[in-house]
Amino acid sequence: MHAPKTASTTIQTTPQAAFEAVLGVVQNGKYDLRGVNNETRNLVFLKGKTALSWGTMYLVDIASDGSGARVNVLVGGRDDAPKALLDGWKHGKAASKLLSEVEGVATGSTSAPATPVASFAKLDDGREVPWVGPDFPVG
């Protein structure tokens, strides 16, 4: 991942509700879900290539915070994409936009119903394997 940018926010809801809000945004948006770990509340997804973009990779972690759920987002360029001068700026903007969408769903001002899925990871070769433990499976 190149030019990674992070963003985070605390949402006044349970970690599970925040996880479902992120999952709903991803499932109802233009994202390619590549991994879900229900136990650790981690998600990995891509925003695809277009005529003007090589796409981005998102890593999301939801944790319990004293006042709600902490949603941490890491956004960066795909490894197979050429690098550009403004990538860092673009990734920071994408992280903030995702957090705004998740907050909207979590507070009920926007609808993005989530469909529950079993924990899985989609590997680069296209195989789907179970995602158990905190680390994304490889090979």
Could you give the CA distance from residue 34 to residue 121 in angstroms, rounded to a whole number? 6
Q: What is the pLDDT along the chain (139 residues), one digit of tens a residue?
A: 777 789 999 999 999 999 999 999 999 999 999 999 999 999 999 987 766 667 788 999 999 988 899 999 999 887 666 666 667 788 889 999 999 999 999 988 889 999 999 999 999 888 999 999 888 888 7
Domain assignment of residue 78, given as a range: 2-107
Minimal CA–CA distance to 26: which of 13, 15, 35? 35
H/E element, 24: helix 15-28
The sheet with strand 42-47 has its strands ordered as: 2-11, 68-77, 56-65, 42-47, 32-37, 120-122, 128-129
**For the chain, how many structural domains are there in total?**
1
Could you give the CA distance from residue 53 to residue 40 in angstroms, rounded to a whole number? 31
Domain membership of residue 122 (yes or no) is: no
Domain membership of residue 14 (yes or no) is: yes
CATH number (domain holding residue 61): 3.30.530.20
- Joined together, the tokens standing for residue 71 give 């949603």
| Entry pTM | 0.88
